[in-house]
Amino acid sequence: MLLNPSANHVYRQATVALSCAELTVTAPFASEITPCRIGAADALGFQADEVDELVLAAQSAHLVTFRQEGDLLRPLDVPDISVMDDDLVTIPKYQGKTNEGFTRLLLHLTLSQVERPGPLEVLDPLAGRGTTLLAAWRASHHGFGVEADEKAFEALAGYLKTYLRTKRIKHTVQVTPVRREGRTLGRRLDAEARLGEATHDQPARPGMPTLRMTVFTGDTRDTAVLFGRKRFDAIVTDAPYGVVHGSEQQRDPNAGDAIASGKGRAGQSGRGGRTPRDRSPQTLLAEAIPVWRGQLKAGGALGISWNTHTLSRTQLLDIISQAGLQPRDEGPWRQFAHRVDASINRDLVVATAP
């Protein structure tokens, strides 16, 4: 399996090891998975009697897979399972953006543990400018989010309008106020992309999905208040790496990878009467994860990445377990930690809802 190199040199150094662990976890047909090279390019070699091309297509760094026949490499017919162009996720450029390759990895690993077929409803309760939600759209899933930073919310809404119009995709994008008991508590973004509908210069595409996205402004700990009784198939989020959601964040000195996912601004309070306050990542997640747990359907999954320098894996697993989730913590699931810079060692954990 030839790997797609990341444009970000920090993430590119970790791609081989992460892809090896990802393939091990999600492709039961593959054995003896080992890093190798095809010419000057990074690849993974593996043994398989039969392969599932759809599983290969979902690998976050998959470029092309070859079957070795003697000294020859013959490409397998691995389909493109994306329903929207890659530039949906790659066009936005801003300081603090989570690497797109890592976002695809975290999304894929989480959805691989969901016990129902797609399309799925994916929540990112620390949505930032929507990298996870856009990646979910590319993979034909619906996206939902909560974001405290008004400017990040506005940037996502503006980008969706421009992108869908430029691509001539039938769509609606609207921002409306959220009112409770006569008071305005925040705003709500509702977007719909009708990929199968014809436009004035493009024919209809039967079988293509209609994708939905809803994002609220507000505090992540108020997710249940904002979405009410709605439940989600998966929750996928990149937790703040430095201080917490709603306060000033660290930035990665290597442009293109997030220290804090651009989530939150200094002195901004959450919705629902909360006051501004700095919190450690451990305190934030200890308060938020039980709320998120209540938003998961039975058989759903939570996937979260974080900085192990601010919160140990043991501490996070304890928070997740106390919330009634079952973390995957065996074998290859412990092989996703990687260095981002001297102050950040990023790891991820996926847990399921019984």
Task: Report how far apart, in Å, the C-alpha atoms of 118 and of each of 31, 88, 137, 210 are.
Answer: 27, 20, 12, 13
pLDDT in tens, 203-247: 888 899 999 999 999 999 999 999 999 999 999 999 988 633 333
Phi, psi of 297 (to 5 degrees): -70, 155
72, 100, 236, 238, 316 from 189: Cα distances, Å: 52, 22, 19, 21, 31
Query: How far is the CA of 12 from the CAs of 15, 17, 331, in angstroms?
Result: 5, 10, 23
In sequence order, the β-bridge partners of residue 35 are 44
Residue-wise pLDDT for 115-156, tens only, equals 898 899 999 999 999 999 999 999 999 999 999 999 999 999
pLDDT at 108 over 90: yes
User: What letter does residue 306 receive in the DSSP assignment?
Assistant: E
Q: How many Å apart are CA 243 and CA 351, to the nearest integer? A: 24
The residue extents of the domains of the chain are 2-75, 87-352
Mean predicted confidence (pLDDT) in 77-98:
93
CATH class of 87-352: alpha beta
Whether pLDDT at 97 is above 90: no
CA 162/CA 156 separation, integer angstroms: 10
Question: What number is the average pLDDT over the span 284-313?
Answer: 97
| Beta partners for residue 187, in sequence order | 177
Bridge partners, residue 158, by sequence: none
**pLDDT by residue (tens digit) across 145-180?**
999 999 999 999 999 999 999 999 999 999 999 988
